[in-house]
Amino acid sequence: MTEPFVTGSRSPAKNPIAAHPITSAIIFVLVAGAICCSLIVPIYASTTPKVGDFPFFYFFLLAYMPVAAAALFVAMLLQRRLERGDERNEVE
């Protein structure tokens, strides 16, 4: 196991949100955005514009899925960077 791990004996962590406000805000926007663009149905509830043969409503639902997945992937990478950063600070 080369990965460092957090044990129960570690002192309670500093609040990571306070330590990295901008990265945390980006993570929040990515995750909340992924939810909201699907939740706010009026954005995409129309037949036009047609994309290829697909009415917009159906095109949007299918095309948005990879976009949401990518947003989550970026959020995950950012979170990992935050966690790694915290551990490095502690070692120092």
Partner 1 sequence: MSNVNATVFTIVVVLFLLVTLIGFAASRWRRADNMLQLTEWGLGGRGFGTFISWFLLGGDTYTAYTFIAVPALVYASGSIGFYAVSYTIMAFPIAFMILPRLWSVARVHNYITQADFIRGRYGSRGLSLAMAFTGILALMPYIALQLVGIQAVLTVMGVGTSSTNTYLKDLPLFVAFVVLAIYTYVSGLRAPAAISFVKDTLIYVFVLLAVFYIPTRLGGWSHIFGLAEAHFTSIDPATKKPFGTFIPTAKSIGSTQFDFATLALGSALALFVYPHTITGALASKRRSVVKRNMSLLPAYSILLGLIALFGYMALADPVTAANVKKADNTQLAVPYLFQHMFPSWFTGIAFAGIIIGAMVPAAIMAIGAANLFTRNIFKEYFKPDASPKLETRVSQWVSLVVKFGALLFAVELPHTFSINLQLLGGVWILQIFPMLVGGLYTRWFHRWALLAGWFAGMIYGTIAAYNVSDPTASHWASSTDIVFGHSIYIGISAFIINAVIAIVLTLILKAFKVPEGADETLPHQYTADPPDTPAQAPAGVGAAAD
Q: Binder to partner 1 among 49, 66, 91, 92 (CB under 8 A)?
A: 66
How many alpha carbons fall within 13 Å on the CB side of residue 18?
Answer: 3
* Rounded distance between C-alpha atoms, residue 41 and residue 31, angstroms: 17
Closest of 32, 9, 27, 1 to residue 83, by C-alpha: 27
* Rounded distance between C-alpha atoms, residue 60 and residue 63, angstroms: 5
Q: Is 25 in the site for partner 1 (CB under 8 A)?
A: no
Q: Would you say 26 and 78 are in contact if contact means Cβ atoms under 8 Å apart?
A: yes
Q: Is 51 in the site for partner 1 (CB under 8 A)?
A: no
Q: Pick between residue 22 and residue 39 the one whose CB is nearest to partner 1.
A: 39
Q: Is 55 in the site for partner 1 (CB under 8 A)?
A: yes
Residues that bind partner 1 (CB under 8 A): 1, 3, 5-8, 10-13, 31-32, 34-35, 38-42, 45-47, 52-55, 57-58, 61-62, 64-66, 68-73, 75-76, 79-80, 83
